[in-house]
Structure 1
């Protein structure tokens, strides 16, 4: 039987669980996080959140298994835009965590934050991530060559966006 995934807002005390997500190799490889993330870094990030940042957690029971940040635009000309970033714990990838987080973020953006455009970058070799975003209405808008340095090599990323 599969444990149901629930979504909730991150609290400052969740820093160790979020740090554990990004301490794992596959989560690091799919994001811009570095190896060996410190607890203090994540403690600070969750304590000093901007009011325009909406950090959601996916939970399986009491266990945090994924994190998504939705960052609403602060520039007056881009207040209609939200930027997304997401990580799923290695042992929970491919089990619906990303789907649950993304659906919750889209609902928040569309029904509560008046965000018309959601945008993100995803590594060009992340087929599962690209498929997830495409299923939720995101379309490719461009390619960033040598976007990031990962595991000793430069990698490309795609810009994807969803306009309501």
Structure 2
């Protein structure tokens, strides 16, 4: 005759309890880590949601592509200024430009700079953090409907700005 033992004396029962416990603890840790910085604001555009689709207005990007605009945004850390240099296209060099610097995850750290015309492009004295990435958006300060975008990775001091759409694609 076999003697019955308690299920708690079986190693497989303890293995199952430990696995479930590890999943619960891991899930709580991942939730805390994911929400440490608050909600993510990775897309600075106003987005319209219809069903499961999201729609953003790309009209300003298409206009910039049609105008063949391109620029470089650069930060001079030593002298403390931000500069936008035109690369190609028909920029109005007498008008100020608005450069929006979006933190990739925290909207509270976003900055908007209005750069006045300068002999080489547009320039403004400013101090920027270089310890994280920046999502850049350049547009005229007077509200003209064009926009250039770019990304400045952590530690980098310059970024290429171009339209988000390709003018050659229908």
Q: TM-score range by the shorter chain?
A: under 0.3
More strand by share: 1
Higher relative contact order (CA 8 A, sep 6+): 2
TM-score of the pair, normalised by structure 1: 0.24
